[in-house]
C-alpha cells in the first residue's frame, strides 16, 4: 500500500484537531457546571441572574488554554436537537378544515351539509377526502357548481376544482 505513512499522518493530524476542537465543548460544559454550582440556592434552585453574572465575569478572563470564556463559547461544537435531547413534532392536517378555509369559511347550507356528509363517509372509506366531498356535494346540491362556493376575490380554487372533477 503506497503512501501508508501519509494516510497515518493525516489520520493523526485530523484526530488531534478534532480532539482540540471538541475540548472547547468540554471546557464550556465544565465552566457552566461551575456557574450552576455557584448560582444554586439553598433550596436547590438555580438563580439565573446569579449564573449569568458569574459567566459574564469570566467573559474577558482566560479560562482555558489562554482563551476567554467568550472565545471558548464561540469555539464549542454546537449540538443539534437530536444530540441535546431531541424534539418531536407532529402535524395533523384536517382535509375538512382545508376545504372550509379554501371556501372562505362559506356559510352555504349545501356546502356545510356536504362537508359533514363527507366527514361521516371518511370514517368507512379509503377514498381521498376531496373525492368524498365532491360526491357528497353533488348528492346534496346536484345542480349547483362548486365554483359558486369556492370562487371569491381571494382565490379561484373553485374553477380549478370544476375542471379537475368529473361531471
Task: Provide the residue ranges of all domains of the chain, joining segments of one domain with +.
Answer: 4-81, 95-164
Distance CA(113)–CA(125), nearest Å, equals 18
Q: What is the mean pLDDT of residues 52-75?
A: 89
pLDDT for residue 159 is more than 60: no
Does the pTM surpass 0.75? The reply is no
Q: Kindly state the average pLDDT of the residues 140-159.
A: 71
Where does the pLDDT of residue 92 fall: very low under 50, low under 70, confident under 90, or very high at 90 and above?
confident
DSSP 34: H
**Rounded distance, CA 105 to CA 67, Å?**
60
**DSSP-assigned letter for residue 124:** T
pLDDT mean across residues, the chain: 84
**DSSP for residue 131:** H
Q: How many other β-carbons are positioned within 10 Å of the β-carbon of residue 113?
A: 15
Amino acid at each position: 500500500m503506497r503512501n501508508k505513512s501519509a494516510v497515518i499522518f493525516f489520520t493523526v493530524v485530523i484526530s488531534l484537531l478534532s480532539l482540540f476542537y471538541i475540548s472547547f465543548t468540554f471546557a464550556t460544559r465544565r465552566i457552566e457546571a461551575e456557574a450552576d454550582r455557584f448560582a444554586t440556592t439553598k433550596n436547590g434552585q438555580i438563580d439565573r441572574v446569579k449564573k449569568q453574572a458569574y459567566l459574564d465575569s469570566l467573559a474577558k478572563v482566560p479560562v482555558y488554554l489562554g482563551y476567554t470564556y467568550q472565545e471558548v463559547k464561540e469555539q464549542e461544537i454546537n449540538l443539534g436537537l437530536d444530540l441535546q435531547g431531541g424534539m418531536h413534532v407532529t402535524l395533523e392536517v384536517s382535509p375538512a378544515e382545508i376545504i372550509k378555509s379554501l371556501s372562505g369559511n362559506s356559510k352555504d347550507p349545501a356546502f356545510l351539509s356536504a362537508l359533514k356528509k363527507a366527514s361521516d363517509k371518511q370514517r368507512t372509506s379509503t377514498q381521498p377526502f376531496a373525492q368524498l366531498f365532491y360526491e357528497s356535494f353533488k348528492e346534496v346540491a346536484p345542480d349547483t357548481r362548486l365554483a359558486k362556493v369556492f370562487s371569491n376575490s381571494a382565490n379561484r380554487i373553485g374553477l380549478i376544482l370544476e375542471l379537475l372533477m368529473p361531471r
